[in-house]
Amino acid sequence: MEIWAKAPMRIGLAGGATDLPSYSDTYGGSILNATISKYVHVRILSKQDNLVSFKSYDTDEFVEYKTGELPLDKMPLFCASYNLMCKKAGNIFPSIQIESFSDTPVGSGLGTSSTLCVALIASLANLFDIELPPIEIANVAYIVERDICGFSGGKQDQYASAFGGFNEITINKDGTVNVEKLHISPNFISELETHILLYFSGKSRFSSKIIDDQENKIKNFKLQTSDALHEIKKEVKLLRKSIENSDIKSFSKSIARSWESKKQTSPMVSNVDLNSIIENVINLGAWSAKVSGAGGGGFIMLVLPLNKRNLILKCLNIDEHSLQSCVFESSGVLCWRR
């Protein structure tokens, strides 16, 4: 038997970093994001050798253990997901192999690690015939990634991948999460897809360092960081109104304001190379641009008018492999058996 899962990655549109506990526990967080047709794929294979093994084709990692509760020193997301779901199944520790690969490079800024976690939890739930609604898949994935493994980050990525589509995600002060799906004109979604390109900057980044810096500044009452996050949070309602009104110009202006505020949260969010790329595309006629995820590298979202698209690509001399179209995905994580 084979079990497959496919979980979509996301692009953050507004509210990024207000889902960090150091901010949301005090002020409440608000996020608007959308899933795209880039995925993390997971396959589970049954075995009969009393061993459990994990293989990542993205990082070329492989580990193998005897069945039972696993240590977390290698491939911790895999091991922690296996341990937790086996316990949920009644302390059943089966002999299986789990493989994964993603559609984008490691360090893309599209929420890859959280999306992997969602795919792992969903596929293991399918293996054990445990029914988990999207909110519970996301909750468990958050526990695995943040609480058990101790990876830095917020709460938007797990919920985006589990639910899919355009969502406003509210993180309450008590840590609970509400997900509201936006109802958007299909025509405007198509229009957004023609105006948005994703450009891989060529630099993978380690988001944990940026997130830790932002969290430390919030905890140490650095007003510049907190004030910037307040402005970022305000953009959620403004961007939502732009989307619901099918207003591309207002949408692009909100993206630009969010990027300016985001750079104020940590000096690690941007750098000379990223600033140069974004300044160049703006000077060539792009409406706006922002680095996806925590920043520091990975994908840059470009919002372009149609009549400037080819000019910008030509002048930047962008390698075709570094450029991705933006196609939105309305579904969350999917699982099936073969």
Beta bridge partners, 324, equal 198
Domain check: are 178 and 248 in the same one? no
Domain check: are 192 and 248 in the same one? yes
- The answer on pLDDT for 208 being more than 80 is no
Domain check: are 176 and 208 in the same one? no
**56-85: b (≥16 Cβ within 10 Å) or e:** beeeeeebebebeebeeeebbbbbbbbbbb
Domain check: are 123 and 213 in the same one? no
Residue 157 appears among annotated catalytic residues: yes
Domain check: are 243 and 107 in the same one? no
Q: How far apart are CA 286 and CA 297, in angstroms?
A: 19
Q: What is the pLDDT of residue 206?
A: 57
Domain check: are 100 and 66 in the same one? yes
For 87-98, the pLDDT digits (tens) are: 999 999 999 999
Q: Report the 10 Å Cβ neighbour count for 264.
A: 15
Domain tally, the chain: 2
CATH number at residue 28: 3.30.230.10
Domain check: are 133 and 56 in the same one? yes
Question: What average pLDDT does range 10-20 have in this prediction?
Answer: 94
Least confident of 22-36, 48-62, 81-95, 271-285: 271-285
Structural domain boundaries, residue 300? 186-325
Q: What is the pLDDT of residue 223?
A: 66
As a whole number, the mean pLDDT across the chain is 91
Domain check: are 89 and 154 in the same one? yes
Domain check: are 32 and 161 in the same one? yes
Domain check: are 300 and 227 in the same one? yes
Catalytic residue, from 19, 103, 157, 213: name it.
157
Q: How far apart are CA 117 and CA 128, in angstroms?
A: 17
| CA-angle at 280, arms to 275 and 283, nearest 5° | 125
In degrees and rounded to multiples of 5, residue 204 shows phi and psi of -70, 150
Strands 96-102 and 51-56: parallel
Report pTM.
0.93
Domain check: are 221 and 333 in the same one? no
